[in-house]
Chains A and B, each alone.
Chain A
Amino acid sequence: MHRWRWLMHIVLKSLAYRQGRSLLLLGVLAMAASLVTSLGIVSSAMGLRVAEEVRKYGANLVVLPAAARIEVGSGGLDFGTITEPAYLPQDALLRVVGNEGVTEYSLHLRGHLKAGALEMPAEGVDFAVIRRLYPWWQLQGGWPGADEAVIGIDLAARLKLKAGDRIRAAGTAGAREFRVAGVVSTGGEEDKLLFIPLARMQEALGVGSSVSQARLLAQTGGVTLEQRAARLQGLLPGSVVREVRQVARTSEGLLKKVQLLMALVTAVVLIAAASSVASTMSMTVLERGKEIGLLKAMGATRLGVLLLFCGEAVVLGLTGGGVGYLLGSGIARFVMKTVFMVSAGIDLRFAGLSCAVSLCLALLGSAGPMMSVFRLDPVRSLRGE
């Protein structure tokens, strides 16, 4: 019989012989591994879930052109700083956002148009993106099609317009008539704006394919939003990338606190489990003193005896890890369904994590008792001392 096959055979027989103690160890390891698995799955899913929630609030990064700033002064007098309108090249923006963890983006071109003699602030946008990215927009009327506009509720009142009316808006480079498809009310600055399709705004202002602002929804997995913003800014010379701080920062901070709490709970449970494994293994070694003495008397080296004990720890560790993964996945699914109202999928990465944690616990917990195996004297062990 092959030596490794024999070793496995002996290890399994030994574990089966002490089935009560083996089951106890297995239970402890499976419990610890299931906790790591379930908290890992929940924590990871929480991150995605929070990102999803953040997504509902819209963008978390804003890209603005770094406006030309000129210090104005004469002699000892300082007249302050003046800024000139500046734009971002649309093509460069699209190239960068496609590769930098940005899942959604909206491009905006802000300017002033004239309706008759009245000047009004207007913004060119892609309505399909706005509808997806800003679900809280309350619209009276409908979403616009081509050559249609949305007007903010305050501006509509000022111009005495309602859904279905028509408005002629003129920019520095051209004028066009739009049908007002809907009146938007957000409680924010949108209420004072006229929204028209981006391409029409670019024509009206004569700025080619430029925009004045891009709002991005960037994933924060693996890096902080701050790091993501800094990276984007490096890739977009002439721009300033800022965080939409309130929502993103709060979500990130809360998530980090919850994850820290989970990590602490896990650490406490793992330490308790390792202590439990250590005490059970110590008792096993004490009970098996004569057996160890016999093996040494038969010519087993200290490493040879150690290998038997390590084999038992490995089998228990891997089995505990497997059971823990199944158990932990079940718990995670239950928690996700009842607390977050979403279903968690099967993530095999956590099977590896669960087995690794359980194996480490079994080996670490056995380390002390195994060292005493190393030192046992065969004559005294056989005498039962």
Chain B
Amino acid sequence: MVTDIIETRGLTRSYGEICALKPLDLLVPEGEWLSVMGHSGSGKSTLLNLLGGLDRPSGGSLQLGGEDLMALSEDGLARFRREFVGIIFQQHHLVPYLTALENVMMAQYFHSVPDEAEACSVLERVGLGQRLKNRPGELSGGEQQRVCIARAIINSPKLLLGDEPTGNLDHQNTGMVMELLKELRSEQRFTIILVTHNREVAAWGDRIISLDDGVLVREERTRR
């Protein structure tokens, strides 16, 4: 029986008088790939930040992997992020003075202990075995995004969050990254929540939900 890894009830997020996310009820089964679509300002990144424990809701309830995120302290949220979640950013956000290998090891350091051999094998898995010692500035956009993916999965998270992970990539690199995510998901069985405004990218998921002005306006199953 598949259990729900994410369960939100009336989840809201307001910034002063602006309501970025209106009461949202959402269930995500374990292992599902959910794509979240919407225009700029639709609330999709706000939802992702809440699911990743980067931000706190203004109201409602938020259960992730059986844990009530509303009840966690700052340090509790930090523990949740390092043990439960891997995040892929649109801007990559790699540490500029560290090599690809060290960027991945940094995530290990905050999780447990830096392990060079394990970090190397993950980078090889994402096709960067020859670029271990290169700094982000010496890598292409697609390569930087693959380092970001390696960093996100190095601690075997249960939930992988992607905030427009292909937003800065060309068509070819987008295809490569999405194919890689699909392979990794089948190997590691993590749940993926991927925010995008690109329907083609969203279609890689099992289910697509669309947000508009902070409201869930559509939900559809893909053919995959």
A interface residue numbers (CB < 8 A to B): 1-3, 6-7, 10, 13-14, 16-17, 290-291, 293-302, 304, 378-379, 382
Contacts and interface: CB of A to CB of B under 8 A. Distances in A.
Cβ-closest 5 pairs across A and B = A299-B82, A17-B97, A299-B81, A1-B114, A301-B78
B114 A3 contact: yes
A298 B54 CA distance: 10
Contact of A298 (B75, B80, B81, B114): B81
Contacts of A16: 97
A308 to B, nearest CB: 10
A298 B110 contact: yes
B52 A298 contact: no
Contacts of A290: 93
- Of the listed residues A13, A295, A297, A301, the one surrounded by the most CB atoms of chain B closer than 10 A to its CB is A297
B156 interface: no
B182 interface: no
B113 A13 contact: no
Contact of A299 (B78, B91, B96): B78
Contacts of A300: 78, 82, 110
B106 A10 contact: yes
Main secondary structure of the interface of B (DSSP, over half): helix
B115 A1 contact: yes
B75 A10 contact: no
B97 A294 contact: no
A382 to B, nearest CB: 6
B87 interface: yes
Size category of the B interface is: 20 to 34
A299 B110 contact: yes
Given A3-B109, A298-B110, A17 B82 contact: no
Nearest to A303: B75
B63 interface: no
A291 B109 CA distance: 15
Contacts of A10: 98, 102, 106, 109
Given A295-B110, A297-B81, 13 more contacts: A3-B113, A290-B93, A293-B93, A296-B81, A298-B87, A298-B110, A299-B85, A299-B111, A300-B82, A302-B75, A304-B78, A304-B110, A378-B54
A17 B109 contact: no
Interface of B: 49, 52, 54-55, 74-75, 78-83, 85, 87, 89, 91, 93, 95-98, 102, 105-107, 109-111, 113-116, 151
A113 B59 CA distance: 109
Given A1-B113, A1-B116, A17-B96, A297 B105 contact: no
A299 to B, nearest CB: 2
A298 B89 contact: no
Contacts of B107: 298-299
Contact of B97 (A14, A293, A296, A382): A14
A6 B83 CA distance: 20
21 contacts: A1-B105, A1-B114, A2-B113, A7-B109, A10-B102, A10-B106, A13-B98, A296-B78, A297-B93, A298-B107, A298-B110, A298-B151, A299-B80, A299-B107, A299-B110, A300-B110, A301-B78, A302-B75, A304-B78, A304-B110, A378-B54
A298 B82 contact: yes
Nearest to A294: B93
Nearest to A6: B114
Nearest to B79: A299
B95 A294 contact: yes
Contacts of B55: 379
Contact of A382 (B75, B93, B95, B110): B93
Contacts of A299: 78-83, 85, 107, 110-111
A300 B83 CA distance: 11
A8 to B, nearest CB: 12
Contacts of A378: 54
Contacts of B75: 301-302
A193 B98 CA distance: 86
B110 A6 contact: no
Contacts of A2: 113
Interface centre among A2, A3, A10 (most CB of B within 10 A): A10
